[in-house]
Amino acid sequence: MLSLPSGVDTVHSIRSVTLTSRVQARRGEDGGWMSDRIRLGRSDLEAPRLGVGAMTWGKPSGRSRWGPAKLAYGGPAGPEEEERAFQASLSADVDLFDTAAMYSGGASERRLGELAEGRSVMIATKFPPGWLSRADALPEALDQSLARLRRSAIDLYQHHFPSRRVPIPSLMGLMADAVEAGKVRAIGVSNYSAAQLRTAHAVLAERGIPLASNQVEYSLLHRAPETNGVLDACRELGITLIAYQPLAQGALTGKYRPGDRPKGIRRFGRYYRGDGLENAQPVVALLRELGERHSRTPAQVALRWLIQQESVLPIPGAKNGRQAASNAEALSFALAPAELEALDRATTAWRR
């Protein structure tokens, strides 16, 4: 178990202890996973069962205005909506926000730093700041992230994506140094294969530090983690799988239809191009049908399917207060085992 590093502020320590006592994971009568918090891997961090993706937040300048996060989603929603999304999430006890040094050249981290200043919220961010960064850039990049986030420590520091320029053992060594220096509370990775996870886990284990999480794409329309060994490896090693794009970039919300595709370059991605959206319509119809039984939306049912899986924590992107409040509602109901099975059966084609 990772003990809290020196330098952890008192508010966080007290909060951590309080939350530990609140972790009462239990199966509901209907088989639903009912705990309001889960432990992040085998770290000391307690997280809500759902977080918020803040990839599109912030106001980039210069070349960052043309970064993929903004282009994919059709531009920023604006500071007022970001603040509404932040507040709506906190009101629902959803206090885990995911960002990255790379998102809009640091603008997403900067915005989250402004919003979270003086608040007890969990921030997950990612190294590196650029596609070409090398492992030895970590100490400086971490200090820059801390400055943008206006914090003395990052709750979850994740390696964004494996790359030949960043050998996993060297990087994990530097991550472990950052934990020991009190600048990072828990270590995560992202887009790691099962084999890469095992390497990172083993390196950190030698330093007595758990690997807390692996953030990968996972949704009803992208079930590859179930078949490529990643989900099994996470469960075996006690690592939380943080599910990004849990709404398949909005395709699972039911608001887009063939002939009515979203703005932004995501319309050219696999969920929307060709017959992608058409193929998803039977899944959306089932989500709608199940949602009607529980007075919930298709998006809430899609998120709930993930929440009810052991060691899985979805982080839907929210562009405004309405979306954030609605996504948080996925925490307040449970799907029955037969409903989970119906969703499993309807999406077996996406298990590749």
Active site residues: 103
Residue 244 lies near ligand NAP (rule: CB under 6 A): yes
Separation CA 64–CA 248 (nearest Å): 24
Residue 191 lies near ligand NAP (rule: CB under 6 A): yes
Shortest distance, position 170 Cβ to ligand NAP, whole Å: 21
Select the residue interacting with ligand NAP from 48, 291, 316, 321 (CB under 6 A): 316
* Ramachandran angles phi, psi of 288, nearest 5°: -65, -45
Binding residues for ligand NAP, how many (CB under 6 A)? 30
Residue 239 lies near ligand NAP (rule: CB under 6 A): no
Helix or strand run (H / E) with residue 200: helix 194-206
Residue 161, classified by CB atoms within 10 Å of its CB into exposed (0-12), middle (13-18) or buried (19+), is middle
Select the residue interacting with ligand NAP from 197, 247, 301, 335 (CB under 6 A): 247
Residue 215 lies near ligand NAP (rule: CB under 6 A): yes
Q: Which of 96, 9, 2 is nearest to 44 (CA)?
A: 2
Shortest distance, position 176 Cβ to ligand NAP, whole Å: 21
Q: Which of 79, 153, 102 is nearest to 321 (CA)?
A: 79
For the CA atoms of 287, 293, 296, 299, what is the dihedral angle to 10 degrees? -10
Q: Would you give the DSSP letter of residue 135?
A: G
Q: CB-based contacts of 26: which residues, under 8 Å, 6+ apart?
A: 34, 35
Report yes or no: 256 and 272 within 8 Å, Cβ to Cβ: yes
Select the residue interacting with ligand NAP from 89, 199, 308, 323 (CB under 6 A): 323
Residue 73 lies near ligand NAP (rule: CB under 6 A): yes
Query: What mask, x for binding ligand NAP by CB under 6 A, covers residues 271 to 300?
Result: ----------------------------x-
Which is closer to ligand NAP, CB of 82 or CB of 339? 82
Separation CA 150–CA 112 (nearest Å): 9
Residue 245 lies near ligand NAP (rule: CB under 6 A): yes
Which is closer to ligand NAP, CB of 12 or CB of 261? 261
Separation CA 155–CA 162 (nearest Å): 21
Shortest distance, position 206 Cβ to ligand NAP, whole Å: 26
Q: How does 233-249 read in b/e, with b if 16+ C-beta sit within 10 Å?
A: bbeebebbbbbbbbbbb
Which is closer to ligand NAP, CB of 33 or CB of 271? 271
Which is closer to ligand NAP, CB of 5 or CB of 321? 321
Of the ranges 47-55, 80-88, 202-210, 339-347, which one interacts with ligand NAP (CB under 6 A)?
A: 47-55
Separation CA 305–CA 343 (nearest Å): 8
Shortest distance, position 120 Cβ to ligand NAP, whole Å: 20
Residue 327 lies near ligand NAP (rule: CB under 6 A): yes
Q: Which of residues 11-30 bind ligand NAP (CB under 6 A)?
A: none
Residues that bind ligand NAP (CB under 6 A): 53-56, 73-74, 98, 160, 190-191, 215, 244-250, 253, 255, 262, 299, 315-319, 323, 326-327
